[in-house]
Structure 1
């Protein structure tokens, strides 16, 4: 993966999230496994991991419903061999890092990492 692809993806990712359109948000996902403190918080599952696209849809739909002012602003992007890192700011100015791994152009795994700022 090159940095140009990572930047294009991050710009589209930001637009998709800010649209609050679940189909747009999930369009770039395959049968993904994603872990995040927000999953633990929204689902009351301390494992904080959603497996498969159906679980992603349920988690992300819940997030959009419970955080109606959800908004992301990409601050920086980095590329690796088959992964990228999106450093972004959320609606409460919290900084978040999201690492996404790709296979054949689709996200297949990822995780979100939060700092001291609350996630919602």
Structure 2
């Protein structure tokens, strides 16, 4: 993936999140997506920190959107690799977050969220 395509994806990704439109967000993910995040532990109480499949991801993000009515992301930087995009952003609390997203056939098949210190 080149940097222009990665930036275009990041623009669509952040617009989906900031609109709080779960279907718009999930349209970028494969049915068999695997996603890991420490927020999965916090929100779902699952110590593995992992969800598997689009429907499990939907349930996790729906819970997150309910818990965070002020959710808003500001993209700071986008990076591209062969089949991976890294989106560095700040969340509604000003916390630095990196989203690492690996693609298969134009959609995200694996993702992870990594969080910096809370402000």
Q: What TM-score results when the alignment is normalised by the length of structure 1?
A: 0.96
Question: Is the partner of 2:118 in helix, strand or coil?
Answer: coil
Match in the other structure for 1:94: 95
Match in the other structure for 2:25: 25
Match in the other structure for 1:14: 14
In 1, the alpha carbon distance for the partners of 2:41 and 2:80 equals 27
In 2, the alpha carbon distance for the partners of 1:88 and 1:33 equals 21
In 2, the alpha carbon distance for the partners of 1:29 and 1:115 equals 24
Root mean square deviation, CA, Å = 0.8
In 1, the alpha carbon distance for the partners of 2:38 and 2:67 equals 15
Q: Which runs of 4+ in 1 moved over 3 A?
A: none
Match in the other structure for 2:107: 106
Question: Is the partner of 1:61 in helix, strand or coil?
Answer: helix
1:1-120 alignment, distance < 5 Å: 1-30=1-30, 31-117=32-118
Residue by residue over 1:41-92, the C-alpha shift from the partner in whole angstroms, topping out at 9 and shown as x without a partner, is 1001111101000100000000000101000010000000000100000000
Aligned length: 118
Q: What TM-score results when the alignment is normalised by the length of structure 2?
A: 0.97
